[in-house]
């Protein structure tokens, strides 16, 4: 009962680059987004409209989005993160047509990441989703720490389900479930999904799995098997998390594509072009691509 196709949401330019120590020049960010579109990615999270004091790496969000939207690739959408109304208004002014709000299933992580409780964050998202509806802008909802929290350890599946239901009720068209620190495994992800699916159907869920312990591909498979058909991934496995020590990036997009194509599941992505892009952005950061698939394909 695996799906015949999967939608991949490329988050490298945002989730990846927000966590790189060096601030990547705007030109390189824009070129990365263009290369990803050429490789066949149809959803590319471009940047985030957050406080530059908190995340200096995303301090050029307006310029990145303006430049990308000046020459958008046909059929590609470029969502951006907006934690509050201030971020939403800036994103809208730059032309955003899709935004994402981000909550957590763990109180401590919510405080460290967005400086408020889970309940306060959800209240803060209400005016964002209302303004987005008014402006005809789509809203996606993220939940962090769906399997574990760097401060609190294991997170109860019902906590994730509760936040997911609230985000859905607020008008999020899709809820992306973040295993922020990569401590999930196929069984814990299954239990979490079972709880969430009591509230939100699989068709409105996405898996956002970090690969810190090498479990992301296994967790993708467990989710596919339960009907989830949207996954977030980061080219070259870029990234980590500033509020989760030791965390590494999302599942590498090329690892995900390899897994899916190998099982006959379509993605619309050209693996060779994607791997070239992984090598290119890694070289910009002064290293080899982190992913197994990129290294194997490049060695051929």
Distance CA 167, CA 285 (A): 35
Partner from Mg ion, ligand HMG, none binding residue 83, C-beta < 5-8 Å depending on class: ligand HMG
Number of chain residues interacting with Mg ion (CB under 5 A): 1
CB atoms within 10 A of CB 1: 6
Catalytic residue flag (residue 172): no
Nearest CB to ligand HMG, comparing residues 79 and 289: 79
Least distance in Å: CB of 299 to ligand HMG?
Answer: 30
Q: How far apart are CA 65 and CA 45, in angstroms?
A: 10
Can you name the residues that pair with 144 across neighbouring β-strands?
104
Q: Which residues bind ligand HMG (CB under 6 A)?
A: 15, 18, 48-51, 54-55, 81, 83-84, 86-87, 102, 113-115, 142, 144, 178, 180, 208, 210, 241
CB of 114 to ligand HMG, least distance (A): 4
CA distance linking residue 63 with residue 61, whole number of Å = 6
Q: Supply the minimum distance, in Å, between the C-beta of residue 135 and ligand HMG.
A: 16
Answer for which of 12, 13, 15, 257 binds Mg ion (CB under 5 A) is: 15
Q: Which does 114 bind (CB under 5 to 8 A by kind): Mg ion, ligand HMG, none?
A: ligand HMG
Report residue 166: phi and psi, to 5°: -65, -45
CB of 19 to Mg ion, least distance (A): 9
- Determine if residue 108 is left, alpha or beta; phi over 0 gives left, psi from -120 to 50 gives alpha, anything else beta: alpha
34 binds Mg ion, rule: CB under 5 A: no
Phi, psi of 56 (to 5 degrees): -60, -25
Three-class DSSP category at 174: strand
DSSP type of residue 17: G
The residue (of 92 and 217) whose beta carbon lies closer to Mg ion is 217
Q: Show which residues are catalytic.
A: 241
Point out which residues bind Mg ion (CB under 5 A). 15
């Amino acid at each position: 009962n695996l799906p015949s196709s999967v939608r991949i949401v490329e988050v490298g330019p945002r989730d990846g680059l927000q966590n790189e120590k060096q601030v990547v020049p705007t030109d390189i960010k824009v070129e990365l987004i263009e290369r990803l579109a050429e490789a066949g990615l149809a959803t590319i999270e471009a940047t985030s409209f957050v406080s530059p004091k908190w995340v200096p790496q995303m301090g050029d969000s307006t310029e990145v989005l303006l430049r990308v939207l000046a020459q958008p690739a046909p059929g590609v959408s470029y969502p951006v993160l907006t934690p509050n109304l201030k971020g939403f208004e800036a994103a809208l002014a730059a032309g955003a047509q899709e935004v994402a709000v981000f909550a957590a299933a763990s109180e401590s992580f919510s405080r460290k990441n967005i400086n408020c409780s889970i309940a306060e964050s959800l209240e803060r998202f209400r005016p964002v989703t209302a303004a987005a509806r008014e402006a005809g802008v789509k809203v996606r909802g993220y939940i962090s720490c769906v399997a574990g929290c760097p401060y609190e350890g294991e997170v109860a599946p019902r906590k994730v389900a509760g936040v997911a239901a609230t985000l859905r009720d607020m008008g999020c068209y899709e809820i992306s479930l973040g295993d922020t620190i990569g401590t999930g495994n196929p069984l814990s992800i299954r239990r979490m999904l079972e709880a969430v699916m009591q509230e939100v159907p699989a068709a409105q869920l996405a898996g956002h799995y970090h690969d810190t312990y090498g479990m992301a591909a296994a967790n993708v498979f467990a989710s596919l098997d339960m009907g989830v058909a949207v996954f977030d991934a980061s080219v070259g496995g870029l990234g980590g998390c500033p509020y989760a020590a030791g965390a590494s990036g999302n599942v590498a997009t090329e690892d995900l594509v390899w897994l899916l194509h190998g099982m006959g599941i379509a993605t619309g992505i050209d693996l060779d072009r994607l791997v070239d892009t992984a090598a290119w952005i890694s070289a910009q950061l002064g290293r080899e691509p982190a992913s197994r698939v990129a290294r194997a394909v490049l060695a051929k």
